[in-house]
Amino acid sequence: MIASREQTLTSLAQMIHAAREGPVDLLLRNARCFDLFNGAIREGNIAIHDGMIIGFGQYSALREIDLAGAYLCPGLIDGHIHIESTMVSPVEFGRAVLPRGTTAVVADPHELANVWGIQGIKYMLSANAYTPLDIFVILPSCVPATQMETSGATLSAEELIPFKDHPMVPGLGEVMNYPGVIHGEPGIMEKLAAFSDQVIDGHCPGLSGRELCAYVAAGIHSDHECATLEEAREKLSLGMAVMIREGSTARNLEALLPLAQKSHSHHLMFVTDDKYPGDLWEDGHLDHILRRAVALGLDLFTAVRMATLNPAKYFRLRDRGALAPGYRADLVAFDDLEHFRVRLVIKDGVEVARDGRLTDLASAPGPSAPPSDLTIRGLSSESLRVKREGEHVRVMGLVPGQIITEKLLLPAWGKGPELAADPESDLLKVAVVERHRGTGRVGVGFIRGMGLQQGALASTVAHDSHNLILVGTRDEDMLEAAEEVRRMGGGQAIVSAGSTIASFPLPIAGLMSDQGVLQARSSSQKIIHAAKELGCKPLDPFMSLSFLALPVIPHLKLTDLGLVDVDSFQIISLFH
C-alpha cells in the first residue's frame, strides 16, 4: 500500500518529534553498534521508532531491551540467490534465514519463471505478505536462458515491464545469454533498453577483453561468476560490482578474498547464489560466510559492510544497510567478533528471532502454490535408444566440485547397432525429457564421472528450464524413475531393478518441497545416501545431475533438443 502525501507528512513529523524529544517505540540499551561509515564501534543506546532508527543516546521508550554489551550490526542482505535452490518455499526459506541474521535477499526467480512464467514471479513477490524477510525480486532476464532448450515459458521485455514500478523489484536479473548481448540479439537488447534506468545484474563466466567491455557497455554492472583473482580484478577495473559467491555448489570465497582490500571493498558483496537445504540448516546463510571470511583474515568491518551496506547501495535500497537515523531498523545482535552467533534479530523495529528461534510473528503460513503439472509425452524405450552412427562418441565428463563439464571424445564402446550404458567403464546414459509443453522431445547423451553402478536417478530439478533429467545404467530403470517422478507431480527418485528405493517429492513447480528446511534436509540426505549406496561419486549426485542440462556453463551439456557445445553455443552430434 502506497502512503498518501498527507500520511507521509504526518509520519515524517512524528519521526522528527520522536528523534528530538521521544518517547520512542524501542530502546536497545548497552549495545556496541557497528558504525560502517567510520569503521568504528559506537557504544551506548540506539532508539527505534515506527520501524526506523531515529537516534542514539538516552530516550524514554515504550519498551527497552538490554543487550548487555552485545555487538549490533545491520540486517544481512544476500545480493544474489535463487530461493528455489533451497528446495523449500520462500516463506520456509525466511523461517530458516531470519534467525541467522538475514533480513533481506535479492532473489532471481528464473527457476520458477522457466516453469511457470509470469505466475512464478508473482508467486515469489506474494511471499512478502507472509514473512518478515524482505524478498526483493530481480526480474529474470533469460527465460529461457537459450534457444537450445524448451522451457515452460518465454518472457519478453513487454511482459517484464509492468513489474518495473513494483517497490520490491530493483531491476533486471542476471543476463546469462552473454553471447546474445555481445552480438546484439534483439530480444536481449529490448530488455536491456527497457531496464537501463535500473540495476541490471550480470553473469559472464570467463568473459574478458573487448567482449567483456561490450557486455559492460550494455549497462550490466555486476557479476557473481568470478572464479579467479585475475578475472575479478579485470571486472572491477571496468566498474563492475563483484559478488563473491560462497554457496553449496560454487565456492569462490577463499580464492577471491584477497580482493577485499579497503580501497575498493565497497565494490564487493557476499552472495550465496545456490544454497541447498542441508547446508542451510547445518552451516547457516550469510552468517556462515562472515565466519569464514573473518577466519580467513578479513577485517570484520569490511566483512560486515560486504553483507549489508554494499548490497544495499548497489541495489539502491537507500533505507537499509547501516545503523544511522533514517535507516530501517533491521538489526542483528551477536556476542563476539569471531563466531558471529546471532542472539537477537529485529526486523522493522520488531523482534522476530532470539537465540536461533523465531517468534510467533515470523511463523505465518505462506501463499498457496498452483499444482505442479508434468506433461511428459514421447518417453519410451525407443526414445532412449542410441543408434551407433560413428566411431567416436562425445561424452560429458564430470569435474569434481564444479558445474562445468569436460568435453570427452571416446571410441564407441560395445558391439551391435546400439550404444548402451557401460557402468563398468563409468559411462552412463543421460536423457533430458521435455516436461512443460508435451512436445515429446527427448535428448540423449552419455556421462562419465557419476559412478552409478546400477539403477537410475530422475529429477525435475535441471537448470535452467527444469525439464525431467534421467541418468542410469538400464533404460528400464530410467523409464520407471521417470514414472515415479510423474506420479509425485515433480521431484527426485531412484529406481533399481524396477523398484523405487528412494524419493523426494517437490510439488511446488517440481522444484520445491512444501515442508520446512529440516524436513527437506532429511529427505535430501536420504535420497543422496541411496544414490551413493548405488555407487554415485559426487557429494550430491542430484546437484551434479541438475547442472548437466545448463547450456550456459561450459563445456558440454544436454537439453531436450540434444547435445550442446557451450563454447560454440550450438547443438552438435553425439557422434564424431
Percent of the chain with pLDDT strictly greater than 90: 85
Report, as an integer, the average pLDDT of 120-138: 96
Copy the grid coordinates of residue 29: 540499551
Distance CA 47, CA 31 (A): 11
Report, as an integer, the average pLDDT of 387-412: 93
pLDDT confidence tier of residue 47, bands split at 50, 70 and 90 = very high
pLDDT surpasses 70 at 9 = yes
Report, as an integer, the average pLDDT of 470-487: 97
Copy the grid coordinates of residue 8: 507521509
Closest CA to 201 of 178, 225, 172: 172
pLDDT surpasses 90 at 18 = no
Closest CA to 64 of 46, 50, 51, 41: 46
Copy the grid coordinates of residue 538: 559426487
Distance CA 421, CA 342 (A): 50
Report, as an integer, the average pLDDT of 78-86: 96
* pLDDT tens-place string over residues 84-95: 999 999 999 999
Domain 74-321 has CATH 3.40.50.2300: no
pLDDT confidence tier of residue 364, bands split at 50, 70 and 90 = low
Look at residue 119 and give its three-state secondary structure: helix
Distance CA 107, CA 100 (A): 17
Could you tell me the residue ranges of all domains in the chain? 74-321, 381-572
pLDDT confidence tier of residue 78, bands split at 50, 70 and 90 = very high
Report, as an integer, the average pLDDT of 147-156: 93
Q: What does DSSP assign to residue 547? A: G
pLDDT surpasses 90 at 2 = no
Which pLDDT does position 217 carry in this prediction? 97
Distance CA 514, CA 46 (A): 39
Preceding omega of 201 cis (within 30 degrees of 0):
no
pLDDT surpasses 80 at 264 = no
* pLDDT tens-place string over residues 521-543: 999 999 999 999 999 999 899 99
Report, as an integer, the average pLDDT of 490-517: 96
* pLDDT tens-place string over residues 155-210: 999 999 999 999 999 999 999 888 889 999 999 999 999 999 999 999 998 899 99
Residue-wise burial string across 557-572, b where 16 or more C-beta atoms lie within 10 A, e elsewhere? bbbbbbbbbbeebebe
CA dihedral 347, 352, 356, 358 (to 10 degrees): -140
Distance CA 553, CA 559 (A): 13
Helices and strands per DSSP (H, E), number in the chain = 18, 28
pLDDT surpasses 70 at 222 = yes
**pTM across the whole model:** 0.93
Strands 24-35 and 40-49: what pairing?
Answer: antiparallel
Please give the mean pLDDT across all residues of the chain.
94
pLDDT confidence tier of residue 338, bands split at 50, 70 and 90 = confident
